[in-house]
């Protein structure tokens, strides 16, 4: 069983489109995250949710909107996609909202390419 | 300047060599993570430590809080250890968010 899963794995789309990436964890964790990894492989946190509540919201354009329907799911919706949004997006989860005091489990990543 | 710096950026070694990857950070932290990113892109958590030393198989992670420094060691390196190794620090102030280093790309040659 996959602990943290993301769909789709690859996403190619045109500028201006709206797209969503889904994430699900079956670990029973309380906290979930979205990270962005740029072309230089640098990881940066975007959002964190604990029990469906937003606890970290980094400076990302408001075209990015996370949605957590329940604590096992954290989806990322992106409006009006731009070329600079091309990156690999990783979902992760951890046991507690002091998330970094616990191991984080990462999904396989979604490679988004905006043309 | 990034709050978390890693060295070297790239490391190539022969199979069997002892490997050391370094991580320095400029702020007080409550925990430090070591992650491994495989060539296929997946990320795996290797260690989370706040003091001392941890060992898992051929991997050893150490941290010196006073010196703001952590090292990841690999003994008897193997080509399957080839990956990008990333350290990430949790500052002990503010909200709970990891700050990542830029990664070290390790290549082990058979």
- pLDDT tens per residue, range B65-82: 999 999 999 999 999 999
pLDDT of residue A15: 97
CA separation, residue B95 to residues A15, A97, A98 (Å): 33, 10, 9
Per the structure block, which two tokens stand in for A1? 């069983």
Give which of A100, A104, A105, A107 to mutate to test B binding, by max B Cβ within 10 Å: A100
Q: Are A103 and B45 inside 8 Å of each other by CB?
A: yes
Q: How confident is the model at residue A1 (pLDDT cuts 50, 70, 90)?
A: low
pLDDT of residue B96: 66
DSSP A82: -
pLDDT of residue A101: 59
What's the whole-number mean pLDDT along residues A2-11? 93
The count of other CB atoms within 10 Å of the CB of residue A101 is 16
pLDDT at residue A98 greater than cutoff 70: no
How far is A88 from chain B, CA to nearest CA, in Å?
A: 9
Helix (H, G, I), strand (E, B) or coil at B20: strand
pLDDT at residue A88 greater than cutoff 60: yes
Question: Number of C-alpha atoms within 13 angstroms, CB side, residue B34?
Answer: 28
Give which of A4, A32, A43 to mutate to test B binding, by max B Cβ within 10 Å: A43
Q: How confident is the model at residue A57 (pLDDT cuts 50, 70, 90)?
A: confident
Q: How confident is the model at residue B90 (pLDDT cuts 50, 70, 90)?
A: confident
Closest chain A CA to residue B34: A103
pLDDT at residue B95 greater than cutoff 80: no
Q: Tokens 């003994």 sit at which residue?
A: B75
What's the whole-number mean pLDDT along residues B40-56? 91
| Percent of chain B surpassing pLDDT 70 | 95
Angle formed at CA B97 by CA B91 and CA B98, multiple of 5 degrees: 70
Mean residue pLDDT across chain A: 90
Quick one: which of A113, A101, A103, A106 has its CA closest to A91? Answer: A106
Partner residue opposite A105 with nearest CB, options B45, B50, B88: B45
Least trusted range by pLDDT, from A4-8, A13-17, B60-64, B98-102: B98-102
């Amino acid at each position: 069983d996959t602990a943290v899963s993301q769909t789709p794995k690859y996403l190619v789309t045109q500028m201006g489109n709206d797209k969503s990436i889904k994430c699900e964890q079956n670990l029973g964790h309380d906290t979930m995250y979205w990270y962005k990894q740029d072309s230089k492989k640098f990881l940066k946190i975007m959002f964190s949710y604990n029990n469906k509540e937003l606890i970290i919201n980094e400076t990302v354009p408001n075209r990015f909107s996370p949605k957590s329907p329940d604590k096992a799911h954290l989806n990322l919706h992106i409006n009006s996609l731009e070329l600079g949004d091309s990156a690999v997006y990783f979902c992760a989860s951890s046991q507690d909202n002091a998330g970094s005091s616990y191991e984080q489990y990462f999904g396989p990543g979604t490679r988004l390419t905006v043309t | 300047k990034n709050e978390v710096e890693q060295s070297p950026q790239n490391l190539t070694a022969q199979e069997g060599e002892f490997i050391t990857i370094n991580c320095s950070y400029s702020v007080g932290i409550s925990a430090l993570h070591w992650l491994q990113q495989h060539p296929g892109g997946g990320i795996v958590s290797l260690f989370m430590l706040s003091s001392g030393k941890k060992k898992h198989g051929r991997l050893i992670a150490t941290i010196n809080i006073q010196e703001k420094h952590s090292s990841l060691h690999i003994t008897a390196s193997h080509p399957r250890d080839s990956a990008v190794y990333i350290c990430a620090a949790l500052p002990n102030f503010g909200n709970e968010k990891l700050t990542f280093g830029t990664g070290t790309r390790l290549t082990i040659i058979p």
